[in-house]
Structure formats: structure tokens, C-alpha cells
Chain A
Amino acid sequence: MREFTYSRAVTLQEALTRIAPLANGKFLGGGTNLIDLMRENIERPDTVIDVTRLSSGISESPDGGVSIGGEVRNSAVANHPLIRERYPMLSQAILNGASGQIRNMATVAGNIMQRTRCYYFYDDAANCNKRSPGSGCDAIDGFNRIHAILGVSERCIATHPSDMCVALAALDATVNIESAVGKRTIPFNSFHCLPGETPHVETVLAHDELITSVELPPLPFAKRSIYRKVRDRASYAFALVSVAAALETENGKVRNVRLALGGVAPKPWRAFDAETVLLGADVGMRAFREAADAELSKARGYRDNSFKIELARRTIAGVLSELADSAGRP
């Protein structure tokens, strides 16, 4: 690991003022991804500014939503009564990610900013447009079983690895961002970028901006919601396919639905096309399959990952079916 300067910020203003002049400075949360990437020489900041001592916490918003500070640990979100009762898919998503130890360390902002687990991104002997723009992508013709089938480009087929973010995409969260010169709020689904010609640009965040909090809007029907993760082993593995969903039915028709996918795209993937098919449709397997087909019609499989297309179809239909079955229950 290269040498760097360490700086601990206790207030938000300290953090923002210190990062402002440092083009090669980075905020540091729990370290679970950044320290690993620094050890591999993939991330090489001159200065890290530790923001884990900031203290926004979790609170109910006036509109009935919930606000979560960027520095809050993942396990604290998963265990918070407001999250468990109102947004169970978010608790489940977090609990399906990483391990107990890592969830105690990782912060919400760090989880959002975590980088892909593509083998070629981690291997500095390989070509990777994300790590070294213009060098090529060894994944496209390489071992790509874990790679993306939606939203990819000729430059990059890496997936975003987060579980938590899939639930945030489904819930229409917003991200509050602040720098020394101002604040802005970004819809979660516009926060991450698709690779296009610039796979090294992963989010809209500038180097001097910090994610201060994430806002969950009120969404009463999310009280019954599910996160289902399909992976190579039962625990402590990244998603091959995951689905976050909430479903509201009325008189046998879909009144409201939220659907997002993980493990299949370069960003947490909100399934807008599937939602469009579902809204107003008769509740049942036929509509669930049609919705999945609509979303996956844009999918493209590579050498080793074509199985994800059918796996995603089945997982979407299965999760919606489970939600529909439980709709009559209290």
C-alpha cells in the first residue's frame, strides 16, 4: 500500500473543507472496500479523510419517510425498527450482503460508493477500461460468469456488487450530497452511471462531495416487500441475480409495484419496463412472466453468463408470486 496522509473529521464542515483542495483525496468509511483496493494499488489516494465519526444517525422524516446518515453502519440500518417495519426489503438486502463483521464496519455511503468485484478490475496485469481507461476489457471475451447482462457497453460489463443499493433503487431513495460550496440532492436511480464510453466514471459524485444522507420516501406498501438473492453458495457470496420487490394489489389487479435487480448490471437496476407491464395487470404468473420478459428483452449474455437471463426471469416471477400470495395476509 502506498503511503498517504490520514485525517479524521469530526464535523461535516471539517470533512468538506479539508477535501476541497485535495484532488487526490478520498473520504474513508469503514474501509472494507477502499482499504482492500489501496492494498492492491488500485486506489491510490494521497490523503484519506475518515468520516466515520460524523453523527447524523437514522431519523424519521416529517413526511413519514426515513433519513439515514452516510456514516451509519450497515448493521445499524438493518436492525433499525423503522427500517425493519416499513422497508423490510432494505433490512433483508443488507443482511444478505457480506458477513456480520463487514456489516458492522461498512457505512451506507461507502456501500453506495463500493467498486465492482470484476476479477479483471482487481488484477492489474489485465486490461480494464474502468481501472485504466482505454486499455480494453478482458472480461468481454474472458471469464464472465459473474458479469452484467443489462446496461453494458463494449467498454465494460462489470456489475455493481451492492445488495443494499438494489433496495434503495426500488424504494426511490434520494441521495443528499454536500461539498464546501453547496448541497444537492440526486435521485438514487440517477446517482450511478452506466459505463458507455467512460466506464471509469461510476457516479455523479465529484471528488470534493460527500454523501451526507440517504432519504427513503414514505411508501406504505413497502411494508410487505422482499429481497431475494441467488448466489453460488447460501451465504457470504456476491449475487448472481437478486431481486428487490414490493407489490400492492387491489381487486385482483396490480395497483402499485416496485422492482429492482442486482448482480445483472453496472448499476443497481430499477426494472422500469417490468413495472410498466405490471401496473394495472391481472395479478398472476402470466403478468409476472410478461413483466420479466419485458425487462430481460434488452439483456445480452456473454460466454459464461447467459444463464443469468433465465435466472433473472424466474427470480422476478418467483418473488412477485410470493408477494401476491401473501397479499391477503395481515
Chain B
Amino acid sequence: MKEQTPSTQNRRAPSSTIQITLEINGAAHTLEIEPRVSLLDALREHLHLTGTKKGCNQGACGACTVLCNGDRILSCLTLAIQYEGMEITTIEGLGTAGELHPLQVEFMEQDGFQCGYCTPGQICSAVGMIREFRNGLPSAVTKDVSARPVELSEEEISERMSGNLCRCGAYLGIRTAIRTAFQSEVIP
């Protein structure tokens, strides 16, 4: 195809960046980004926090799950700039090699992964899910939404974790890891 010289009207100004500050894993990070940068790309490409994974980049797989003020969210479906002033926690902020989060321990103990790509999202999601459960949030399989769910059954875990896909199919281990960590009551 013959290339056309763009008219003046079609010529674009260089991308304009804005300075924003994000609070991530307890530390403030200032970065210069375009408004269109997703929270996921800000974490991975600008702050080099590559624990958070990019799977589908369209909200279908859950690999990019992080916590915002303790609530699990998908970092791919939102703009980084929307999260100024909020506390973001990624897998890097949940535990360290020397001091693992109880869910990280159980994912290892119970074979909660094979390739590991979905694992940071699974663990962040599970942390948020357990908090939701403790706050009394019902789910689609809760029989009576006006009552408090009493038991975090296998069915409840499956339903509440359905936003996190595992292509290796480690679901059995993932459920066991979550149930074991939940029952041990050591999750902060």
C-alpha cells in the first residue's frame, strides 16, 4: 500500500505524560506516565514489579489480580492514574523469600500450581476473597443471601475463585491450599 504523507490535522502531538504517585506495598512511588497506562503496565513496565502477571489483558483470567485497600481488583482493566491515594498490594508485598505469607506456604505444600504463572493472581485473589468472606459477603452459591454464610465450603471456594483461571488445572491443590490456610486462621 502506498504510504500517504499525513496531513497537518492528522499529525499528533507527542504523548503527554503526567506525574503521579502510587502507594505500593507500603512505599510511595512517583512516576511519569501517560494517562492511558493501565495499573498492570505501571506495575510491570514502569516499576518493574513483575510478580503481577499479564495473561489475557482483558479481564478474563485473573493473573493480574492485586489488592487495593485490601479489595482484590484486576489491574489490567483500570488506569494507574485512578489509584492515586490508594494502597496497592502486590504479591511482592504479601510475603518475602524469608517470610512467606501463609497462603504462599500452603500453595507450595498443597501443590497449588505447576507453571506458576497464575499463582500471584491466585494468591492475591485468595487473600481478598477470605477478607470478603469474613466481612460476610455472600456468593452466587450462598443459599440465603440475607443470612451470613457459615462455612467456606469447596463449592463456595470454587465460586468465589472463579475469576482466576489456571491453565495447568491445579484447581484441586489451589482449593486445598486456600481451605487449609483459611482454617489455620493465621491469615492477616
Which A residues contact B (CB, under 8 angstroms)? 1-6, 8, 28, 30-32, 35-36, 38-39, 48, 50, 52, 75, 78-79, 84-85, 88, 91-92, 95-96, 98-102, 104-105, 229, 234-236
Contacts and interface: CB of A to CB of B under 8 A. Distances in A.
Contacts of B12: 3
A48 B128 CA distance: 28
A150 B9 CA distance: 45
Interface in B63-86: 65, 68, 71-74, 77-79, 81-82
Given A100-B128, A100-B163, A236-B162, A79 B136 contact: yes
Interface of B: 12, 15-16, 18, 34-36, 38, 57-59, 62, 65, 68, 71-74, 77-79, 81-82, 125, 128-129, 132, 135-140, 142, 144-146, 158-164
A218 B39 CA distance: 40
7 contacts: A28-B79, A32-B59, A36-B58, A36-B59, A104-B72, A104-B73, A234-B159
B30 to A, nearest CB: 17
A172 to B, nearest CB: 20
A35 B78 contact: yes
Contacts of B135: 79
A105 B77 CA distance: 9
A78 B158 contact: no
Given A79-B136, A88-B144, A235-B159, 11 more contacts: A28-B79, A30-B78, A31-B79, A32-B74, A35-B77, A35-B78, A50-B81, A84-B138, A99-B62, A102-B163, A104-B128
A105 B161 CA distance: 16
Given A3-B12, A78-B137, A104 B145 contact: no
**What does DSSP make chain B's interface, helix, strand, loop or mixed?**
loop
B46 to A, nearest CB: 16
Contacts of A229: 140
Given A3-B15, A32-B77, A84-B145, A100 B36 contact: no
A-B CB proximity, top 10 nearest: A99-B163, A235-B162, A6-B35, A31-B78, A236-B162, A91-B145, A104-B71, A95-B140, A79-B137, A96-B140
A92 B58 CA distance: 24
A102 B140 contact: no
Contacts of B164: 99
B45 to A, nearest CB: 14
Contacts of B58: 36, 39
B35 A35 contact: no
A1 B36 contact: yes
A88 B146 contact: yes
Contacts of A100: 72, 125, 128-129, 132, 160-163
A52 B82 contact: yes
B79 A35 contact: yes
A6 B138 contact: no
A85 B162 CA distance: 26
Contacts of B82: 8, 28, 31, 50, 52
Contacts of A8: 81-82
A35 B146 contact: no
A75 B162 contact: no
A235 B140 contact: yes
Nearest to B163: A99
A101 B137 contact: no
Contacts of A79: 132, 135-138
B77 A6 contact: no
B139 A95 contact: yes
Nearest to A5: B35
Nearest to B35: A6
Contacts of B15: 3
A92 B140 contact: yes
B18 A91 contact: no
The listed residue with most B CB atoms (<10 A of its CB), out of A75, A79, A84, is A84
Contacts of A38: 36
B27 to A, nearest CB: 23
Contacts of A95: 138-140, 142, 145
A99 B38 contact: no
